[in-house]
Structures are given as C-alpha cells and as structure tokens.
Amino acid sequence: MIDVAARALLGPVLYAQASRLRRSVVELPEPVGDREGSAGTGAVRLRLLIAGDSSALGVGAPTQEQALSGQIVRELVALTGRTVQWQLVAQIGARSEDVLKLLKSSVVNAADVGLVVVGVNDITKEVPLARALRWRGEIAGVMRARAGVRHVVFPALPEMEKFPALPQPLAWYAGHHAARNNSAQAAWAVGQRRVSHVAMDGVMDPALMADDGFHPGPGLYAKVGRRLAAHIDSEVLPRLDRNEGRA
C-alpha cells in the first residue's frame, strides 16, 4: 500500500531525481585483476562461485584483491584453513534476470558454494519483486546444474537510504524497497533447497562508500566479506562436511 501512496504523491519528484542521478553519476571502472584463482595452502579445498552485479564485480575498489572476491577469499582462507578456489561471473548493471542469462552463457568451473550478489538493479529498474525472486531461484538451479554447487548464499541488500548519492525522498523510497526485498528474500530462502539468506544489518557505512556514492569502497567490501565468510564457515560448511562424512 505504501508503494501506491508514495508513487501517487512523489512520483514526479522521484522520476526527476532518478533521471538527474543517471545523468550525473560518476562511472567507476571495473577493478583490475583476475576473475578466478586459488588462495591458501590447506589440504581441503573449498570451491566458490561468485555471481552478480557491479558489487559482485567489485566496482568501487581499484583491484580484485580489494574488491569483494579478494576480501571474502582471504577471510575464508583465514577462517577455514582450506585452499579456496574461486571464480567470478558478474556484470555491471545486472538484474537477477541478467545474472541468470550470464551464468547460462558463461563457462563456469565446478564449485561447492555459490554466492549471488544481486538486487539493487532490480530495484532501480523497477523489476517486480516476485519476478526477481523467481529468477533468483532459477539462478540457484543453474548453479547446481552447471557447476555442481551444493549450497547458494544470497546476501541481503544494503540500506539504500544511506547511499550518499541518493537525495531525499529518492533515498527513502529506495531504502523502503531494499528492506522489502530483504524481508521477502529471507522468507523465500527458508522454502528453498540448500539456499540461505544472509542479513547485512550493521554492515553499511556511508563513510566507506566509493567516490560515486553508490558502490562500496574497499573498506566496506572488507566488512561484507567478513560477514559472508563467517556465514559460510559457521552455517554452510558444517552441513556440507556432514554430508561428506567429515568430522
């Protein structure tokens, strides 16, 4: 109901602010570095497939070492003591539907855990939430079918109302939709097979955003990487290890 009321009252203002933002936003380059690799010396392997949008890609960080992929891999090696083999399949501006298409058309390596960072562009491009969740379910299915992934992790969206680039009331409107996405995704994940939703409460820090005010900087990618690595270490790997008969 709040969506209908907000559109009716604020529609022209929201449209004008969004149009102005699209024209003025600073386009940051993709971080330099490999899209796949290996880290650690542990005898046990963990294979990670990361897919998603520009935040998965690490836009806002100068290198992949400082982006999400580098941060989460480094944390997983430290937490688990395992060798982590990773692959990144991501695209700037990708909606859930685009990530699905990208995974279908890309060569993906075998993986144990999938990490899907997506949703901001579903909001900015006004994708209906039910449709976005349906595509995310298909993303999990493609990861299983094409890479043998055994568990898929979907992080919550950040608190978009705190993005420095967004003026009011656009920031409030985006934040409302991000919170709505997170509640729906958390409930959806409960009914999915080998899927988990990771809350991001307390992670967002506007001071750690990149110069465009829309993407994380290296410090924020580090916080996100720690949260996701801790979830994989404490919640995902024990289940996978039990299934394989490990202690």
Question: What band does 24 get if pLDDT is binned at 50, 70 and 90?
Answer: low
Domain, as residue range, for 187 = 2-244
Q: 243 burial class (0-12, 13-18, 19+ CB within 10 angstroms)?
A: exposed
Average pLDDT score over residue span 80-94: 97
- Per residue in 44-80, pLDDT (tens digit) is 999 999 999 999 999 999 999 999 999 999 999 999 9
pTM to 2 decimals? 0.91
CATH number at residue 124: 3.40.50.1110
Cis peptide before 12 (omega within 30 of 0): no
Distance CA 117, CA 90 (A): 9
- Total count of domains within the chain: 1
